[in-house]
Amino acid sequence: MTADLPASQISHAPLAGVIGMPIAHSRSPRLHGHWLAHYGLAGHYVPIPVMPEHLAEVLRVLPRAGFVGANVTIPHKEAVLTLADTVTDRAALIGAANTLIFRPDGKIHADNTDGYGFVANLRQNAPDWQPSLGPAAVIGAGGAARAVVASLLDCGVRELRIANRTRLRAEQIKAEFGARLVVYDWAHLGNMLEGATTVVNATSLGMQGKQPLRFPLDALSPDALVTDLVYTPLMTPFLNEAAARGCRVVDGLGMLLHQAAPGFERWFGQRPEVDDQARQVVQG
Ligand code: NAP
């Protein structure tokens, strides 16, 4: 029976997808579909709506159905860690995975590429950015912020300031990531900008339909690089304000594109390029 064969012995085009709930809004199928067509590769990438109570069962079945891997999004990014057979150090440190690889023997390998995507986006769009030049300020302490913190520390940032509406979550990140972190109070968010050379909004504030992220930017240096993980809209009110102060700004769409590239390469055998075409496909 095909269902009992390892994925390597199933001779149809590789399948991958994105597991989440809700998932209809995801832009990942459009992006991976574009790359598959662009490189003339056999394969399919589909949205996979899964309720939390069905996650374990679905993960067991997907490799037997020809899936070579999957992206994982809300609300499953943490739960997959407990269901995977192997977890990379960075996914374990972040406490969440967004990329799964189904091995030929059916074993599930979990990784987190959000931090990679975050840094690759900055390197591509601000090539002269030097993370070790001065303190970084990260606003937010959710799952995405954890990936950003891990990657900035990896890049050699010596002081990383963090603030979150729920201060405890920021304190927890400091407890896990160590002495280079300094927790700032949400009520005095503007203070963390003093001398900061990298400033990141890792909250969901500024998204379409949400309040903007607003706090005093008087201490923001025009030499700082400012980026926002929110990409709907591309130019958030926060990025607009920073740009008006003369800062170099980088929107969050490139992070979405770059975090997808390692999974695509593993599943379909081709490192995809993150270029204007890919950007437009995802925006369209
Ligand atoms: P999450 O785990 O739910 O964290 C949400 C964060 O936003 C927390 O820090 C939360 O603070 C804060 N927040 C939410 N509403 C707030 C409000 N009204 N006032 C102050 N703070 C508020 O979500 P996540 O996965 O980290 O994602 C955060 C954002 O990054 C989302 O907009 C997501 O779409 C975006 N993102 C983008 C990419 C990309 O590729 N560009 C990748 C991942 C995520 P509390 O802890 O106090 O609730």
Q: Is 3.40.50.1370 the CATH classification of the domain at 115-251?
A: no
Tokens 């440190």 — which residue?
A: 93
CB 141 less than 6 A from any atom of ligand 1 = yes
Instruction: Indicate the CATH number for domain 2-112+255-283.
Output: 3.40.50.10860
Q: If you take atom 46 of ligand 1, which residue's CA is the nearest one?
A: 166
Give the tens place of pLDDT for each residue, 240-267: 999 999 999 999 999 999 999 999 999 9
User: What are the residue ranges of CATH 3.40.50.720 in the chain?
Assistant: 115-251
pLDDT, residue 260, reads 98
pTM: 0.94
Give the tens place of pLDDT for each residue, 183-219: 999 999 999 999 999 999 999 999 999 999 999 999 9
| Cβ pair 131, 156 in contact under 8 A | yes
65 CB neighbour count, 10 Å cutoff: 13
Instruction: Name which of 133, 152, 269 is nearest 202 in CA terms.
Output: 152
CA 211 vs. chain centroid, Å, equals: 22
pLDDT of 34 higher than 60? yes
CA 246 vs. chain centroid, Å, equals: 27
Q: Give percent of the chain above pLDDT 70.
A: 96
pLDDT of 11 higher than 90? no
| Active site residues per annotation | 77
pLDDT, the chain, mean: 95
- How far, in Å, from the CA of 105 to the mean position of ligand 1? 36
Give the tens place of pLDDT for each residue, 218-240: 999 999 999 999 999 999 999 99
| Cβ pair 100, 237 in contact under 8 A | no
Instruction: Collapse the DSSP code of 147 into the 3-class scheme (helix H, G, I; strand E, B; otherwise coil) and give the result.
Output: helix
- How far, in Å, from the CA of 214 to the mean position of ligand 1? 15
User: What are the residue ranges of CATH 3.40.50.10860 in the chain?
Assistant: 2-112+255-283
Q: What totals of helices (H) and strands (E) does the chain contain, helices first?
A: 10, 12
CB 165 less than 6 A from any atom of ligand 1 = yes
Token duo for residue 244:
């008006």
CB 20 less than 6 A from any atom of ligand 1 = no
DSSP-assigned beta bridge partners for residue 196: none
